[in-house]
């Protein structure tokens, strides 16, 4: 074979292999999503495999909880081996943890009042949650085994939906202390509390981007629930979705390139994904029942 032809064929083959590899990587790079669905008649926690830049629906759907109770608010451990969640399987809402395949379910809290909305810290050392054990909803922290519970917020209003900053030094949460839901941030021990948003609507469901520069959140400041993003200091809020229905529960992919959210724009609540700038919105689930509250498995 002519040397030039051989080199051209060899180079072309190498490029083709590289492109095929990149295509396969891009189609499956983001991994696994945990979410809640009532497709069996009650809310359960599921996982599915998702490639956010692929037009296909999620695959390999698995029901992790398989329980007649109400299961909600999944949050992955940072190593991806466990999921903490809330459930009323023992009579009232408590926090539980299970292996990521649904096995070895253990109860973490045991209190007569509501405990829910858990969020595992990125260093794996703590779990944030909301509790009504003091009468009105407040934010608490505990160790991953349920011990060492300590209170973070202390006021007479409704504090809810807490989330960690990526360095675990701060928490963000929604509160009605100023008449409507606004977003607040404080140090992880509750000190240095300050308000980030000040809008006529309700702001909630906040989450920091993987690089810590941005916060995605839900707001009904335009009349219905939409997904917004802002700088981590609360400035430059930009609207990402625009529908006459509800778009909420936003969350980042591990690389920060995409945002998942729930929407009922197609008649019932389904999970959608979009680029981080709000473009290319597409649906990931297709069920006659509600699919919502999605969280990505850490990388």
pTM over 0.85: yes
The string of pLDDT tens digits covering residues 52-103 is 777 678 899 999 999 999 999 999 999 999 999 999 999 999 999 999 999 9
Bridge pairing between strands 44-49 and 59-63 = antiparallel
Of 273, 197, 286, the C-alpha closest to 237 is 197
Q: How far apart are CA 35 and CA 209, in angstroms?
A: 19
CB atoms within 10 A of CB 229: 21
What confidence score (pLDDT) does residue 54 get?
Answer: 74
Evaluate if residue 38 carries a pLDDT over 70.
yes
Domain boundaries of the chain, sorted by first residue: 1-30, 32-296
> Whole-number mean pLDDT of the chain?
89
Contact 115, 109 (CB under 8 A): yes
CATH of domain 32-296: 2.120.10.30
The string of pLDDT tens digits covering residues 131-187 is 999 888 999 999 999 999 999 999 888 999 999 999 999 999 999 988 899 999 999
CB under 8 Å to 140, separation ≥6 — which residues?
Answer: 128, 129, 130, 131, 133, 149, 150, 151, 152
- Across residues 201-221, what is the average pLDDT? 97
DSSP the chain: --HHHHHHHHHHHHHHHHHHHHHHHHHHTT-EEEEEE-TTSS-EEEEEE--TTSSSPPEEEEES---SS-EEEEEE-TTSSEEEEEE-TTSS-EEEEEETTS-S-EE----SS-EEEEEE-TTSS-EEEEE-TTSS-EEEEE-TTS-S-EE---SSS-EEEEEE-TTSSEEEEEEEEESEEEEEEEETTS-S-EE----SS-EEEEEE-TTSSEEEEEE-TTSS-EEEEEETTS-S-EE----SS-EEEEEE-TTSSEEEEEE-TTSS-EEEEEETTS-S-EE----SS-EEEEEEPP-
What confidence score (pLDDT) does residue 14 get?
Answer: 35
């Amino acid at each position: 074979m002519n040397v030039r032809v051989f080199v051209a064929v060899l180079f072309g083959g190498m490029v083709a292999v590289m492109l095929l590899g990149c295509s396969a990587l891009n189609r499956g790079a983001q991994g696994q999503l945990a979410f809640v669905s009532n497709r069996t008649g009650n809310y359960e926690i599921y996982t599915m495999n998702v490639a956010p830049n692929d037009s296909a629906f999620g695959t390999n759907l698995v029901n992790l909880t398989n329980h007649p109770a109400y299961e909600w608010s999944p949050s992955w451990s940072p190593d991806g081996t466990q999921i903490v969640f809330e459930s009323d399987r023992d009579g009232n809402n408590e926090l539980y943890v299970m292996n990521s395949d649904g096995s070895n379910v253990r109860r973490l809290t045991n209190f007569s009042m509501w405990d829910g909305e858990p969020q595992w810290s990125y260093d794996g050392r703590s779990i944030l949650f909301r509790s009504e054990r003091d009468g009105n909803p407040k934010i608490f922290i505990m160790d991953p085994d349920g011990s060492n519970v300590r209170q973070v917020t202390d006021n007479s209003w409704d504090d809810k939906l807490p989330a960690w900053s990526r360095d675990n030094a701060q928490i963000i949460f929604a509160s009605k202390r100023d008449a409507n839901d606004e977003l607040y941030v404080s140090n992880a021990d509750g000190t240095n509390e300050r308000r980030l948003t000040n809008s006529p609507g309700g702001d909630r469901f906040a989450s920091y981007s993987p690089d810590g520069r941005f916060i995605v959140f839900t707001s009904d400041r335009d009349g219905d629930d939409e997904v917004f993003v802002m700088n981590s200091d609360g400035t430059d809020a930009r609207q990402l979705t625009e529908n006459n229905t509800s778009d909420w529960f936003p969350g980042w992919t591990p690389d920060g390139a995409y945002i998942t959210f729930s929407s009922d724009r197609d008649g019932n609540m389904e999970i959608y994904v979009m680029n981080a700038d709000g473009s290319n919105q597409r649906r990931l689930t297709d069920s006659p029942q509600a699919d919502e509250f999605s969280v990505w498995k850490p990388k």
